[in-house]
Structure 1
Amino acid sequence: MTWNYFYECQSDWKEDTLIKRISALEDAGTVEEIFDMVSSGWDENTNDLLVRKCISLGAEFTIGDILEFDGLLSEETLNLMIDNAIEHGSEISASDILEFDGIVDEAEMDKLVGYAIDKKASFTADDIVGLDGSVSCEVLDKAAEESWQNFSEDDLLLLRDVIDEDVLERIEDRKWPSDEKQSDNRQKNKGTGLPGLAAGIGFVLNGREHDGSTSFRVGDHVRVKYRGQEGTVIDINGDLIMVSLSDGNHVDSYYAEQLERAF
């Protein structure tokens, strides 16, 4: 049976005849025509049967199309439509995925985010916060790390509460790439424990005070933005401010814009 005949005559058929005619279809209609049918008052099982039959006959749905069918189909059929859209390379955005929250389960949300990442969609900090609790932690971390957004300071503060600390650190390093001097300082001073003690008593490294080119001075108690870790300034070398973190085991170098005073 052709789709055109089915589409024109279906309103005259009883349910059992309708089901038989759906099974006998030889081609599928447009997405608009399929939606017209499933929104005409049929029960969910009949709607599922029609959509599944049309997919088997070559119908192609986009991610945006699927949202229009919410409430008319079972979750299993919606999942099948998602697979169909992905298979045919549908466009997708972060905002599209957020619309699926509460419609499909976490596994499907993970699938959508993974597909969006593969399609080079980029997630804002607000997008990532919005997805928290709807996707797995691993997928949320990947969405943040793979995003090509230039996260602002406020964005990083938002992300601190929802993504893994190591991922956040890599994003920060990407925003403020370390120069050779910063890298050398980190390798030389990490894990020594000594600078933390020295800073606690106001010790000045290299036998000098800072020349005043930033608002921070040796001995200042500071907080690393976005992480919330606190520590003490133990040396200032040009644009780099060396901080002994409060755990006493780590020393790291930062730019002034990465720090704030802790009172």
Structure 2
Amino acid sequence: MRQIILDTETTGLRVEDGNRILEIAAVEMIDRRLSSPDRHFHCYINPGRDSEEGALNVHGLTTEFLSDKPTFAQIADEFLDFVGGAEIIIHNAPFDVGYLNMELGQIGRGKFSDYVDNVIDTLVMAKDQRPGKRNNLDALCDFFDIDRSNRTLHGALIDCELLSEVYLGLTRGQDSLLIDFDPYAGNDAALAFAKSNRKPLRIVRATAEERAEHEAYLAALDKSVKGECLWRQMEKGE
């Protein structure tokens, strides 16, 4: 499955006030693994206006820095080619999608949903799993023990990288283990043939380092599901 973690930075909070996008980052993830950096999309954009003071304090991207950057119209084709057909993951999706729809509309390119498979909002997911808690990106990084020490200012690319880890934390329980899957179920002849040609199983025992990594993974899993990890319950005989 091809998924894109996406984030934007803008000149202000309200698209209705004429604010524009000034940075876009999109990080590719294939089958829950981040692709290499050369498969990421990231660009700064000249928004054609100054940032509001509050927004500038958040992202630190000055009008002078952005003055020689391309416009959204100039990067639109490359951006749409990159996200085309993918499942998009955004934190507080209505904000970013609202701005993308505005920018696309201004150049006659329709809506963002015309180009992608669907959009997943991790803020909605977090609120479902952690009702009544703070669920901004910083709070979720703290909850999942994700290192955000390099995030001194909001930047679209680093926020995408952090959000990818948050998304994996939020969806960790959805991985299918296929414990009961039997490819030969209902086919006695195929089962007999498979057994007759099966070589003795080679037993490879886990190293101490592998056992420690497994224990750390179970601890993180148990924390993310609030003590309801099935493996932990099996260990206790519950």
TM-score interval w.r.t. the shorter chain? Answer: under 0.3
Larger RCO, structure (CA 8 Å, separation 6 or more): 2
Which one has the largest radius of gyration?
1
